[in-house]
Amino acid sequence: MSDKNENIKDLSRRHFLRNSAVTGVAGAGLAGGFGAGTLMGSRPAEAAAGSEHDVAPGELDEYYGFWSGGHSGEVRILGIPSMRELLRIPVFNVDSATGWGITNESKRVLGPNAPLNGDTHHPKVSYTDARYDGRYCFINDKANTRVARIRLDIMRADKIIDIPNVQAIHGLTLQRVPKTEDVFAVGEMIIPQPNNGQNMDNPSEYWTMMTCIDADTMEIKWQALVDGNLDNCDTDYTGRFVAASCYNSARGMTLPEMMGPERDWTVIFDVPAIDQAVANGDYTTIGDSNVPVVDAREQAHQGRNPYALYVPTPRSPHGVNTMPPEGKYCVVSGKLSPTCTVIEWSRVGEWFDGGLDDPRDTVVAEPEVGLGPLHTTFDNRGNAYTSLFLDSQVVKWNVEDAIRAYDGEEVNYIRDRIDVHYNIGHLKATLACSRDVDGKYLTALSKFSKDRFLPVGPMHAENDQLIDISGERMQLIHDGPTYAEPHDALMIRADQLNPARIYSRDDPYFAETVAMAQADGVNLETENKVIRDGNKVRVYMTSVAPNFGMTEFRVKQGDEVTVVVTNLDNIEDVSHGFAMVNHGVNFEVHPQQTSSATFIADKPGVHWYYCSWFCHALHMEMSGRMLVEA
Ligand code: RUQ
Ligand code: CUA
């Protein structure tokens, strides 16, 4: 490939990483030459500073970006195109600022004995008719095999569920049409079934599943047992199919075993057929889980598998992305193959309906795009943009031209390439997973930042870059350092979200706490009261800037104390916090919110509590004492 345009420094950085990454997979023959698809050389990123993309102080952004926080366990909201971080939503982590993981309200969502860490990858905002409806954001936890739902009015998770029978939920995607009723989540690792310590030494009996979750109840509807493993996934635009990539078709336990086959596959599920199987009772259950498990492995079926189509796909495929706005094609990115595989959804339907025999007949193009293709996104002009991990590039290619080339026509489908810094994973264009795709901006989530920012020790920032894709050529417009480690992002128009400005007093998020107060005969909005119930003490207090409704309360050493604070301020942004010194307690109380935390008063003496959210000129004075009698 021609890297002529790059300066020497840039060249050496880039090649260092590419070579080391290639060495790691040398056995796979990846170091070989690449032809037609990579004709157009790379070019250095042209930075457009001080352009029309700037968002001046006081101006609002055009888009909301939902960013995964990776192994920070959170989800973040950014404003686009400024890339300003607007909010962190704690989900699978514990958060000192908001008290997520400390408050009773968040613990009810997290469930008993919830792990303290998480690994979020793929935030997905709910749809109505393949358009963002701003209700929920769903997110996976790869580290602890969970799925969470975040309410987008208050930006807090309201349901977190454990997924049985699988390990490491990675890909997560939503039904688009007619609306998001099903959430699909795939388990990446294969494990014994059941995984109870009885059958660990026979990896040929390790399997994984795709899980279907009811978006409204967050209950698991069913699981589908598959061959191979499962990685990323996406749905079509009819509500019928889900496709998932498999990079371990060999079901290997080690890297060489996993990388053995030249082709792995994309598995495509017929969701109504599996729904029907469950309705007919055609399923089993595994171990002590009562989730219906439908067998979608090839060995379970003579003739055509009614539940799953396995489309051979080169090699260790990764990203699975349906092309908007009609959802005609699905692009699977090859990772260890320099290709993307384009599957036509209508042909998938034909295969399931008996019209096609060879699963590969659903493939309509396989363009060569560059080294290490991971994910693909789209504009509204028929172009796809694929992230190239090894080349540290985004490549723009035309889908219809790639189909023509696959049919034997002499056509160059590559439109442009741009360097990103460095080693990009995910990428996403504005509204690219919906009918409203607009082809304006693309975010490139680069895994390495090295020399792009001031050094801050051995742990480097990630570099989420913003690229203007509205013209013929891509233009880099922003470097955005971020904390470990965004995997995926999506951007929706600002008008597609309508968040609450203050809490509603009947918000279900704290309804159980309100019910507890009612059972104690306490009116949270008017009363400040201490209720003793054996060695359990419930302290109800209000907050109005700059006062807590109670400046002291008295308990006995060893009491289990629950402090419930209700913020009576109803002015936007007048948030209070409640921190109990030396007791590991701090939590948020936003306008009209009720929050609570429970702790043991195990230390006799005077313990101050204070407001932790700067709320008033007399914020420092907003405090009180807990007196603990020995
Ligand atoms: S998957 S780039 Cu979850 Cu690619 Cu991280
Ligand atoms: Cu209330 Cu600071």
Residue 42 confidence (pLDDT): 53
**For residue 619, what pLDDT is reported?**
97
User: CB of 490 closer than 6 A to ligand 2?
Assistant: no
Any atom of ligand 2 within 6 Å of the Cβ of 611: yes
**Does residue 620 sit within a domain?**
yes
Rounded to 5 degrees, what angle do the CA atoms 185, 186, 192 make? 135
DSSP state of 368: B
pLDDT of residue 36: 33
**Mean pLDDT, residues 299-307 taken together:** 96
pLDDT in the model for residue 31? 33
Give the residues across from 598 on adjacent strands: 562
Distance between CA atoms of residues 223 and 212, nearest Å: 6
Q: What does the alpha-carbon distance between residue 245 and residue 265 come to, in Å, rounded to a whole number? A: 6
- How many domains does the structure of the chain reveal? 2
Ligand nearest to the CA of 567: 2
Q: From the alpha carbon of 445, which atom of ligand 1 is closest?
A: 2
Residue 327 maps to a domain = no
Give me ligand 2 centre to Cα 586, in Å. Answer: 12
Strand partners, 179: 128
- Res. 24 pLDDT band, cuts 50 70 90: very low
Predicted confidence at residue 263, as pLDDT, reads 95
Instruction: For a ligand 1 pocket test, name from 121, 169, 189, 233 the mutation site with the most ligand atoms within 8 angstroms of its C-beta.
Output: 121
Report how far ligand 2's centroid is from the alpha carbon of 510 (Å): 20
Nearest-atom number in ligand 2 for the CA of 611 is: 2
- Model pTM above 0.85: yes
pLDDT digits (tens, 9 = 90+) for 408-457: 999 999 999 999 999 999 999 999 999 999 999 999 999 999 999 999 99
- Which ligand has its closest atom nearest to the C-alpha of 231? 1
Q: In whole angstroms, what is the distance from residue 491 CA to residue 77 CA?
A: 10
Report whether pLDDT(397) > 80: yes
Q: How far apart are CA 624 and CA 539, in angstroms?
A: 13
- pLDDT over 80 (residue 38): no
CA of 261 to the centre of ligand 2 (A): 61
**Could you identify the atom of ligand 2 that is nearest to the CA of residue 548?**
1
Q: What's the CA gap between 161 and 433, in Å, rounded?
A: 25
Q: Which atom of ligand 1 is nearest to the CA of 170?
A: 3
Q: Which residue, judged by its Cα, is nearest atom 3 of ligand 1?
A: 121
- Residue with tokens 């008008």, as numbered in its chain: 495
Question: Is the pLDDT reported for residue 1 higher than 50?
Answer: no
12 pLDDT more than 90: no
- 588-617 tens-digit pLDDT: 999 999 999 999 999 999 999 999 999 999
Which residue has a Cα nearest atom 2 of ligand 1? Answer: 425
Ligand nearest to the CA of 620: 2
Report the separation in Å between the CA atom of 490 and the middle of ligand 1, taken as the mean of its atom positions: 13
Backbone angles phi, psi at 167, to 5 degrees: -130, 135
pLDDT tens profile 482-491: 999 999 999 9
Cβ-Cβ contacts under 8 Å for 432 (sequence gap 6 or more): 321, 324, 377, 378, 379, 490
Query: Residue 118 domain-assigned?
Result: no
> Kind of pairing, strands 308-314 and 293-295?
unpaired
Residue 249 counted as domain residue: no
Whether the CB of 421 sits within 6 Å of ligand 1: no
Distances (CA, A) of 89 to 72, 170, 248, 286, 533: 11, 19, 33, 34, 35
Query: At residue 509, does pLDDT exceed 70?
Result: yes
| CA–CA dist 293, 222 (Å, integer) | 6
Taking 70 as the threshold, does the pLDDT of residue 471 lie above it?
yes
**What's the pLDDT at 192?**
97
Residue nearest to ligand 2 atom 1, measured at CA: 576
Decide whether any atom of ligand 2 lies within 6 Å of the 589 Cβ: no
pLDDT of residue 52: 72
Q: Is the CB of residue 391 less than 8 Å from the CB of residue 371?
A: yes
Mean pLDDT of the region 344-364: 97
The best mutation among 139, 374, 485 to test binding of ligand 1, ranked by most ligand atoms within 8 Å of the C-beta, falls on 374
| Distance from residue 598's CA to the centre of ligand 2 (Å) | 20
Length of the chain: 630
- Residue 89, pLDDT > 80, answer yes
pLDDT at 35 over 50: no
Per-residue pLDDT for 22 more than 90? no
With pLDDT > 90 as the criterion, what percentage of the chain qualifies?
91
pLDDT in tens, 45-87: 555 555 678 899 999 999 999 999 999 999 999 999 999 999 9
Q: How far is the CA of 480 from the centre of ligand 1 (A)?
A: 18
Residue 566 lies in a domain: yes
3-state secondary structure of 523: coil
Rounded average pLDDT over 204-220: 97
Please provide the DSSP assignment of 240-290 as one string. SEEEEEES-TT--SSHHHHT--SEEEEEEEEHHHHHHHHHTT--B--TT--
Q: Which residue has the tokens 């300066």?
A: 7
Q: Which atom of ligand 1 sits closest to the CA of residue 426? A: 2
Residue 8: is its pLDDT beyond 90?
Answer: no
The reported pLDDT for the residue numbered 124 is: 98
Ligand 1 centroid, distance to 521 Cα (angstroms): 51
The pLDDT of residue 40 is above 50: no
The pLDDT confidence band at residue 3, using thresholds 50, 70 and 90, is very low
342 inside domain: no
Which domain CATH number covers 540?
2.60.40.420
Degrees (nearest 5) of the Cα angle 238, 241, 247?
145
Rounded to an integer, the average pLDDT of 207-222 is 98
Q: Which atom of ligand 2 is nearest to the CA of 619?
A: 2
pLDDT at position 53: 81
Q: Which domain holds residue 624?
A: 508-629
- 276: its two tokens: 């029907």
* 540 found inside a domain: yes
Query: In angstroms, what is the span from residue 543 Cα to ligand 2's centroid?
Result: 8
pLDDT of residue 153: 98
What per-residue confidence (pLDDT) applies to 211?
Answer: 98
Report pLDDT for 50: 53
Separation of CA 232 and ligand 1 centre (Å): 8
Which of 375, 390, 447 is the pocket-test mutation for ligand 1 (most atoms within 8 Å of CB)?
375
The dihedral of CA 221, 225, 226, 229: what is its sign?
positive
- The answer to whether position 26 is within a domain reads yes
505 CB less than 6 Å from ligand 2? no
DSSP 8-state class, residue 102: T
* Residues sharing a CB contact under 8 Å with residue 495, sequence separation 6 or more, in sequence order: none
